[in-house]
Amino acid sequence: MDTLDNWGRWGADDELGTLNLITPEARARGAAEARTGRAVSLALPIEPTPLLSGPFARLTEDASPVQQIMAYTGSPASATADLMLVTNHHPRSTHLDALGHQVRDGQVYPGRPLGEAVTMGGVRHGSTTAFAAGIVTRGVFLDLAADGPVPGGHGVTGEDLDAAEERQGVRLESGDALVVRFGWSASPDPARPMPGMSLDAVRWMHERGVSVYAGDIADAHPPLVPGVPGPVHAVALPGLGLPLVDAAELTELTAVCAELGRWAFLFTAAPPRIHGLTGVPVNPLAIF
């Protein structure tokens, strides 16, 4: 486990983690993939639910990541306006986890005490501030579900990822974004065990130099090792400083990659430029 650690690698004040791996070379590699400008969103659509419940709205709701309220703007109205309330970490919202989202032994990456990094007024170290300029690099898509969904309870290994690369004829290089499909829907049956990344796969990401992870799944639920939190959230995020895109939607990407016979693209993830959050909704694009 000791090798699965980037604490100190980029200094004690670092807030970028593995985004440091996105060198000019990685960016240029990404730009070279943008040829036709065709773009695919990797985000789940979100239908907000009305913030105003009761006589003015439905009485029972699926809890949405976003609640919306239409504002009074005069009568009659010459413009419309609204306000939204966003749950930044939600299983049906494609969102970026900031490095301060996970705590390891009372500390956040790369070793800051929780009490100093996080206050009642927001995150002071390891927040979404790191995403201010957007993430732009080459993206590589490994489709683990080419022959059907990854079976429930399976822990994906580095070997599985190697095999996907070989099958697709693509190779992830240091600084690339790793996009992975397990082939599971965003709202699986909570009673049915999901697959997830194993610690071995996290080691693979570390050795290869993954800069950011985006998957329809990251960690299994329930955990692969009973009682041990999943390695992507509990090891890669706080230990490697690896930002995560949770709950990516990869159905359209799969179809387009198959159509084009290409598994690499320009990857962009530019969430609203809001500082100090633990996470933020994002609409990552694959641009071909």
- Chain Cα centroid distance, residue 124: 21
Per rule CB under 8 A, is residue 16 in the interface with a second copy? no
Helix (H) or strand (E) holding 40: strand 39-41
Binder of a second copy out of 2, 13, 121, 227 (CB under 8 A): 121
Instruction: Calculate the alpha carbon distances from 10 to 5, 15, 19 in Å.
Output: 11, 9, 11
Provide, rounded to whole angstroms, the least separation between the CB of residue 69 and a second copy.
6
Nearer to a second copy, 35 or 171 (CB): 35
Q: Which of 139, 155, 239, 271 binds a second copy (CB under 8 A)?
A: 271
Segment 149-153 long-range contacts (CB within 8 Å, at least 24 positions apart): 149/182, 149/183, 149/184, 150/182, 150/183, 150/184, 150/195, 150/217, 151/195, 152/192, 152/193, 152/194, 152/195, 153/193, 153/194, 153/195, 153/220, 153/224
Q: At closest approach, how far in Å is the CB of 16 from a second copy?
A: 15
Select from 17, 65, 230, 241 the one that contacts a second copy (CB under 8 A): 65
Which of 83, 146 has the CB closer to a second copy?
83
Pairing of strands 212-215, 244-246: parallel
Residues 171-210 that bind a second copy (CB under 8 A): none
Q: How many residues bind a second copy (CB under 8 A)?
A: 105
- Min CB(286)–a second copy separation in Å: 10
Q: Quote the tokens at residue 178.
A: 């790793």
Of the pair 53, 185, the CB lying nearest a second copy is at 53
User: Of 24-63, which residues contact a second copy (CB under 8 A)?
Assistant: 24, 26-31, 34-41, 43-48, 50-63
What's the closest the beta carbon of residue 88 comes to a second copy, in angstroms?
Answer: 5
Minimum CB separation from a second copy for residue 131, in Å? 8
Position 225 contacts a second copy (CB under 8 A): no
Residues 44, 247 contacting (CB under 8 angstroms): yes
* Shortest spacing between CB 206 and a second copy, in angstroms: 21
Q: Say if CB 143 and CB 257 are below 8 A apart.
A: yes
Residues 230-269 that bind a second copy (CB under 8 A): 233, 266, 268
Task: Show contacts with a second copy in window 137-156 (CB under 8 A).
Answer: 137
Pick one of 4, 114, 170, 256: the residue that binds a second copy (CB under 8 A): 114
- Choose which of 123, 156, 161, 212 interacts with a second copy (CB under 8 A): 123
89-108: which residues touch a second copy (CB under 8 A)?
Answer: 89-94, 100-103, 106, 108
Minimum CB distance to a second copy, residue 177 (Å): 12
Long-range contacts of 116-122 (CB under 8 A, 24+ apart): 122/275, 122/276, 122/277
Query: Which residues, in sequence order, are CB contacts of 138 under 8 Å at separation 6+?
Result: 26, 29, 30, 32, 33, 173, 175, 176, 177, 264, 265, 266, 267
Distance in angstroms (rounded) separating the CA atoms of residues 86 and 68: 9
CA distances from 261 to 42, 132, 135 (A): 18, 33, 25
List the one residue from 4, 16, 70, 186 that touches a second copy (CB under 8 A).
70
Does the protein bind a second copy through residue 72 (CB under 8 A)? Answer: yes
